[in-house]
Structure 1
Amino acid sequence: MKELEDSLPSTFTTEASRALGVHPRDLYAWRDSGQIIELSRGVFRRADAPPASYPDMIAVAHRVPRAIVCCISAAAIHELTDEMPASVQIAVPKRSHTPVIAYPPVTVFRFDEAPFELGLTSFEAGPGEPVRIYDAARTVVDLMRFRKRLGEPIAHAALNRYLATPGARPALLLDYAEELGTFGPMRGALDIASAR
């Protein structure tokens, strides 16, 4: 592995290693000897890489590059909830192929194409390893959109935490809600939250 130390990033795919001239036989020998760790099918991490805070999210990002971390998974990253979902929740465009990932567990949400990247940002899941995620305001609006599926208490708690953060922008919540077709429920929730 020494000859590729500088070439291989902390996390890489089988395809990326092949592009660097690594034979699959060598790749699996490295895995079996513990020099690399298989995070998911076809996604590997160097054992000597700096620890990643969110290795599951890095694995999913490599498996589905267009996916965006959303809903409760995004709320946990933004510290809008204490909930830890049993699976990585990701959004993919409605017309795209639904990813099938055995590990790590994944829950897929299919979002409309036009506003798909509305509120898109990224966070560092590992040193120098950004992963696509919706910003805090978009996350709150999505939780409100899916409150029947994910739970009203989670949506309202996330809204209250968001409003308590410095730099909270209630008007942005309403802009996103209008774009995503959930203006009424968002407006009502904001009225209740501001009346407290």
Structure 2
Amino acid sequence: MPGPKADRLQSLANERGILRTSEVEEEGIPRQYLSRLVDRGELVRIGRGLYRRPDHEVTVHHSLAVTAKRVPKGTVCLLSALQFHDLTTQNPLDVWLAIGHKDREPSVDAVSLRIVRMSGEARTEGIEEYKIEGVSVPIYEPAKTVADCFKYRSRVGLDVALEALRDFHEQNGSTDALWRYADLCRVQSVIRPYMEAVTS
């Protein structure tokens, strides 16, 4: 099936790493071109509406890239953000994802999600964009992630929050930034004694 649309589809797959069906249609390429390229072995379907080239380099953070493509309004948080920033020995099987309180609960057939609902500045502050496999992935920065772990300690475990705090300190993370996010997340009183212990 040679032709300009097939060539453009291949170029899109190269540019974006992981393709959504909607992105292909926005480029004026009928979706049946996707299935034809899959049949020819020139694309691989990795989940509902998601495709990549067979020679696409899959990294250890592949699930984050897939999640960002399927849930563009979500932000990688808590255990998944800790793992990305090397602030934990945990190896979460799920992708932890923050969404707004009124957002519809997403589902990604290629990835198991753990949804956390946040609101206000606690939802919107501290987001950094990282390129993973050609996909822009929003992830909470380290200081915000540590503060979140104390806020959601009943879900992640206090031991995980304490390990993250120690690792953050050993990586020379900014205490000022951590304190600001602790205030934002309303956990200053919770985190204060632990911060004093690791910095003393």
Q: Is TM more than 0.5 here?
A: yes
Return the structure number with greater helix share. Answer: 2
Pick from 55, 63, 73: which aligns with 2:70? 63
Query: Does 2:187 correspond to 1:182?
Result: yes
Secondary structure of 1:123's counterpart equals strand
Structure 1 partner of 2:25: 18
Distance change >3 Å, CA 32–CA 83, structure 1 → 2: farther
Distance in 2 (alpha carbons) for counterparts of 1:30 and 1:5: 9
Q: CA deviation at 1:49?
A: 3.2
- Structural mapping, 1:159-178, within 5 Å: 159-166=165-172, 168-178=173-183
Q: Which of 120, 125, 137 is matched with 1:131 structurally?
A: 137
Letter aligned with residue 89 of structure 1? W
Match of 1:149 in 2: 155
Shift of residue 194, structure 1, vs aligned partner: 2.3
What letter corresponds to residue 196 of structure 2 in structure 1? Answer: D
| Residues in 2 aligned to 1:185 and 1:31: alpha-carbon distance in whole angstroms | 52
Question: Greater shift after overlay, 14-23 or 1-10?
Answer: 1-10
9, 27, 34: which one pairs with 1:27? Answer: 34
> For 1:72-91, what per-residue CA distance to the aligned partner results, in whole angstroms no more than 9, with x for missing partners?
00000000012111111110
Correspondent of 1:77 among 71, 84, 93? 84
Aligned partner of 2:189: which letter?
Answer: G
SS in structure 1 of the partner of residue 182 of structure 2: helix
1:155 Cα offset (Å): 0.6
Runs of 4+ more than 6 Å apart? none
Per-residue deviation, 1:180: 1.1
Q: CA deviation at 1:172?
A: 1.4
Amino acid paired to 1:121: E
Question: What is the RMSD of the two structures over their aligned residues, measured on CA atoms?
Answer: 1.7
Letter in 2 for 1:62: K
Instruction: Tell me whether 1:117 sits opposite 2:111 in the alignment.
Output: no
Pairing partner for 1:36 from 43, 46, 50: 43
Structure 2 spans left out of the alignment, 5+ residues: 1-5
Q: CA deviation at 1:53?
A: 4.0
Q: Secondary structure at the match of 2:108?
A: coil
Task: Decide whether the 8 Å contact of 1:94 with 1:113 is kept in 2.
Answer: no
Q: TM-score, normalised by structure 2?
A: 0.88
Kindly tell me: are residues 53 and 22 of structure 1, through their superposed partners in 2, closer, same or farther at Cα, counting changes over 3 Å? farther
Percent identical among aligned pairs is 24
SS at match of 1:177: helix
- How far 1:32 moved relative to its partner? 3.4
Aligned partners of 1:39 and 1:55 also within 8 Å:
no
Partners of 1:56 and 1:39 in 2: CA distance? 11
| CA–CA separation in structure 2 for the residues paired with 1:160 and 1:86 | 23
In structure 2, the residue matched to 1:4 is 9
